[in-house]
């Protein structure tokens, strides 16, 4: 890995390192993400859960309703400052690491913008990045190596 991806919460009680590059990076504009972050969107680095190495602390899992209204999203927060460090959407083998918790998020660029039907109107998206009003077909966008890694996770189910 050319760049070491480490991060943590605001108070430093929870620290992590990604042991590989993420599978794919989402910029999600859904209302649920807007509400949970208090921002216009969230940047999520999708990566195998076993490739998120905890260096300090133990995030606390909190279940919240997912955007579909039928399932739950598990958000892992620092027990002290309550910052959301990563999430799981009913699939514990896959983590959605919050890009804003990286020590240096400046090198992170979304591979896709999703749920843009609820994107805030003042935000202009880059023309070179795929944009979807809802979700998308992963096998059409993800690199072959990421699809291989995802298939390996699915075989473990």
- Mind listing the pLDDT tens digit for each residue in 57-108? 999 999 988 777 777 889 999 999 999 999 998 788 999 999 999 999 998 9
Cα separation of 71 and 90, whole Å? 8
Q: How many domains does the chain have?
A: 1
Cα separation of 8 and 57, whole Å? 10
Both tokens of 115, joined, read 């749920």
* Closest to 47 in 3D by CA, of 104, 106, 103, 111: 111
Cα separation of 16 and 145, whole Å? 23
Cα separation of 105 and 98, whole Å? 10
- The number of beta carbons lying within 10 Å of the beta carbon of residue 1 is 8
pTM: 0.93
Range scoring the smallest mean pLDDT among 29-38, 67-76, 139-148? 67-76
Q: What's the CATH number where 60 sits? A: 3.90.1590.10
Structure confidence at residue 49 (pLDDT): 96
Contact of 133 with 117, CB cutoff 8 Å: yes
Domain that holds residue 128: 5-155
Is residue 105 exposed (0-12), middle (13-18) or buried (19+ Cβ within 10 Å)? middle
Cα separation of 83 and 44, whole Å? 14
Both tokens of 63, joined, read 């279940």
């Amino acid at each position: 890995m050319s760049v070491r991806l480490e991060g943590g919460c605001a108070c430093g009680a929870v620290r992590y390192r990604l042991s590989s590059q993420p599978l794919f990076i989402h910029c999600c504009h859904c209302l649920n993400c807007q509400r949970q972050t208090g921002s216009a969107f969230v940047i999520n680095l999708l990566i195998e859960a076993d490739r998120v190495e905890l260096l300090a602390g133990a995030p606390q899992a909190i279940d919240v309703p997912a955007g579909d209204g039928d399932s739950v999203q598990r958000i892992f927060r620092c027990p002290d400052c309550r910052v959301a460090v990563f999430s799981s959407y009913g699939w514990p083998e896959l983590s959605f690491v919050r890009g804003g918790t990286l020590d240096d998020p400046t090198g992170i660029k979304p591979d896709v913008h999703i749920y843009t039907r609820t994107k805030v109107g003042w935000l202009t998206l880059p023309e070179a990045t795929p944009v979807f009003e809802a979700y998308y077909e992963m096998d059409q966008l993800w690199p072959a190596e990421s699809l291989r890694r995802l298939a390996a996770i699915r075989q473990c189910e």
